[in-house]
């Protein structure tokens, strides 16, 4: 497997620190509101990378944090007249619901910044003792210039950054030794949550949180650190500086960053009125459609969100689901004649030859995923398999052949985190009664009443389909 490493700006063969095991740290959201679709992209793409690594046999330790102490959380708490932990607890739970709806697996560990404060104080103390940090009236700063490799991830030059430091100003600019020094610890303000530290009652800076959580749960050096490209500088750059100065070893071997998500070719922002939460999307689409959309482009390519592209994604996903539906019907029909074993030995000689041919699609899928997690090409390989299934599996096929083709589709889709088996839906009792009444009307040859019920249900968004296996329905 080859991964594009932001640190070296090239694709590199992936070699884990410990054979058979992979450690991954992905920066999670700051929990002060419902997550937006920009948050969803790294969640989905790096969840997919994790799934593929597990498919390849790796034991993956996947850590993704929740930043639960931050200015935005505090401001929201003040606005609502509640404590900051009420806000963070609420939105962590809401985030987990959205992740489940997008079929994003829970991380091995979801650490909370507020639960790791002692480790942060220890790391800051270590940095001060080594001369990499200094205390000014209770605020602790990191000396960026003392870390000779500062800028190696973002490929920025310190002198160039300094000349433009006015764009990077933070509170307390005038008391810093250097404009580019950044905050490790800051004193509390009135009404803010705080912790006791040797320098002041206060709270940590944003960057130190991830350094400490990665160290605690994954070790001093980790295999992969990932997140959105907006985090490359200054967040990930600062993480490297703190971690490597404190621990004395490289922080992460591979740095993966997903590109931005635009809305109708414009940057998403509340001021432009094009800001969408995952919940907003859920009102119009099953979130599997959102996941499919996110995987339809390579993670390092900018992705444009629009109503037209979402409709196209919905239709494409429906093609996958319809193909699996069809296979399910063929398997049921075959089971009525004899048991289906889903074993190649139960297939005809011709079908066994076709199963060998089918292996090419998994090869294409793996080649795509091995090439820097190219989900776009992996999805294309799945569609080739779908086309093969629609052509080669017929009513004359054995149930075992249909079952094996279905299994192949489900296996590849599961690696992508796509659920392509139609969800069993419970109809309202009134609708169930109408379908039963329509069946009775058809039996009594009262076709006018049967058509009337069909039209009534269609008006309610229920589409009926009369098949040899009986009445099937789906929501429009």
Nearest of 104, 54, 98, 97 to residue 411 by alpha carbon? 54
Q: What is the pLDDT of residue 167?
A: 47
Average pLDDT, the chain: 93
Over residues 354-387, the pLDDT tens digits come to: 999 999 999 999 999 999 999 999 999 999 999 9
Residue range of the domain that includes 450: 429-475
Q: Are residues 339 and 457 in the same domain?
A: no
Q: Are residues 433 and 353 in the same domain?
A: no
Q: Are residues 132 and 21 in the same domain?
A: yes
For residue 420, being part of any structural domain is answered with no
Q: What is the pLDDT of residue 170?
A: 47
Q: Is 196 left (phi over 0), alpha (psi -120 to 50) or beta?
A: beta
Q: How many CB atoms lie within 10 A of CB 448?
A: 8
Point out the least confidently predicted range of 10-19, 124-133, 359-368, 459-468: 459-468
Q: Are residues 388 and 449 in the same domain?
A: no
Confidence band (pLDDT; 50, 70, 90) for 169? very low
Q: What is the pLDDT of residue 305?
A: 94
For residue 279, being part of any structural domain is answered with no
Confidence band (pLDDT; 50, 70, 90) for 344? very high
Structure tokens at 174: 């005038």
112: domain CATH number? 3.40.50.620
Confidence band (pLDDT; 50, 70, 90) for 455? confident
Q: Tell me the C-alpha distance between 462 and 473, whole Å.
A: 7
Q: Are residues 434 and 406 in the same domain?
A: no
For residue 274, being part of any structural domain is answered with no
Confidence band (pLDDT; 50, 70, 90) for 429? confident
For residue 422, being part of any structural domain is answered with no
Q: Are residues 208 and 337 in the same domain?
A: no
Q: Are residues 410 and 440 in the same domain?
A: no
- Give mean pLDDT, residues 418-422: 94
403: which residues sit within 8 A by CB, 6+ positions away?
A: 327, 331, 340, 341, 342
Nearest of 420, 416, 418, 414 to residue 378 by alpha carbon? 416
Number of domains the chain is built from: 3
Q: Who wins on pLDDT, 10 or 272? A: 10
Q: Are residues 220 and 250 in the same domain?
A: yes
Specify the pTM: 0.88
For residue 280, being part of any structural domain is answered with no
Residue 171 has pLDDT above 50, yes or no: no
Confidence band (pLDDT; 50, 70, 90) for 249? very high
Q: Who wins on pLDDT, 302 or 471? A: 302
DSSP string covering 92-137: HHHHHHHHHHTTPPPPSB--BGGGGHHHHHHHHHHHHHTTSEEEET
Q: Are residues 29 and 151 in the same domain?
A: yes
Q: Are residues 389 and 442 in the same domain?
A: no
Q: Are residues 216 and 346 in the same domain?
A: no
Residue 298 has pLDDT above 50, yes or no: yes
For residue 187, being part of any structural domain is answered with yes
Q: Who wins on pLDDT, 464 or 333? A: 333
- Helices 117-129, 206-218: axis angle to 10 degrees equals 100
Residue 469 has pLDDT above 90, yes or no: no
- Give mean pLDDT, residues 295-302: 97
Confidence band (pLDDT; 50, 70, 90) for 191? confident
Q: Are residues 41 and 18 in the same domain?
A: yes
Q: Which of 198, 232, 258 is the last residue of a domain?
A: 258
For residue 292, being part of any structural domain is answered with no
For residue 164, being part of any structural domain is answered with yes
- Give mean pLDDT, residues 189-213: 95
Point out the least confidently predicted range of 72-76, 365-369, 435-439: 435-439
Cα dihedral 46, 51, 54, 55 in deg (nearest 10): -140
375: domain CATH number? 1.20.120.640
């Amino acid at each position: 497997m080859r991964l594009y490493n932001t640190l070296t700006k090239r694709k590199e063969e992936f070699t884990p620190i410990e054979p058979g095991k992979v450690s991954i740290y992905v920066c999670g959201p700051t929990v002060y509101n419902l997550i937006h679709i920009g948050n969803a992209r790294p969640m989905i793409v790096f969840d997919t990378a994790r799934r593929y690594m597990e498919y390849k046999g790796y034991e993956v330790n996947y850590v993704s944090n929740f930043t639960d102490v931050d200015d935005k959380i505090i401001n929201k708490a003040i606005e609502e007249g509640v404590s900051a932990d009420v806000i963070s607890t609420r939105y962590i739970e809401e985030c987990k619901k959205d992740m489940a709806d997008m079929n994003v697996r829970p991380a091995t560990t979801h650490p909370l910044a507020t639960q790791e404060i002692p480790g942060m104080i220890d790391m800051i103390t270590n940095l001060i003792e080594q001369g990499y940090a200094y205390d000014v009236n209770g605020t602790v700063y990191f000396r960026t210039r003392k870390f000779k490799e500062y800028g190696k991830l973002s490929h920025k030059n310190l002198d160039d950054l300094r000349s433009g430091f006015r764009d990077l100003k933070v509170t307390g600019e005038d008391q810093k030794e250097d404009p580019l020094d950044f905050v490790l610890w800051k004193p509390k303000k009135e009404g803010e949550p705080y912790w006791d530290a040797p320098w002041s009652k206060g709270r940590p800076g944003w960057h130190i949180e991830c350094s400490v959580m990665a160290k605690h749960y994954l070790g001093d050096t980790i295999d992969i650190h990932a997140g959105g490209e907006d985090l490359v500088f200054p967040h990930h750059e600062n993480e490297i500086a703190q971690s490597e100065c404190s621990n004395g070893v490289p922080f992460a071997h591979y740095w993966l960053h997903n590109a931005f998500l635009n809305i109708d070719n414009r940057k998403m922002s509340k001021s432009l009125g094009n800001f969408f939460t995952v919940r907003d999307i859920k009102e119009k689409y099953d979130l599997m459609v959102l996941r499919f959309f996110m995987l339809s482009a390579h993670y390092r390519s900018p992705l444009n969100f629009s109503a037209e592209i979402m409709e196209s994604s919905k239709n494409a996903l429906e093609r996958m689901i319809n193909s699996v539906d069809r296979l399910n019907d063929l398997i049921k029909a075959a089971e009525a004649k004899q048991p289906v074993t889903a074993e190649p030995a139960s297939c005809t000689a011709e079908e066994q030859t076709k199963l060998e041919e089918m292996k090419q699609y998994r090869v294409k899928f793996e080649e795509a995923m091995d090439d820097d997690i190219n989900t776009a090409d992996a999805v294309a390989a799945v569609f080739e398999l779908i086309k093969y299934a629609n052509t080669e599996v017929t009513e004359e096929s054995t149930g075992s052949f249909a079952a094996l083709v279905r299994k192949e589709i489900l296996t590849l889709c599961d690696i992508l985190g796509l659920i392509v088996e139609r969800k069993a839906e419970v109809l309202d009792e009134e609708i169930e009664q109408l379908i039963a009444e329509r069946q009775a009307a058809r039996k009594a040859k009262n076709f006018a009443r049967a058509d009337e019920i069909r039209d009534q249900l269609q008006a309610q968004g229920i589409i009926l389909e009369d098949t040899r296996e009986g009445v099937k329905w789906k929501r429009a």
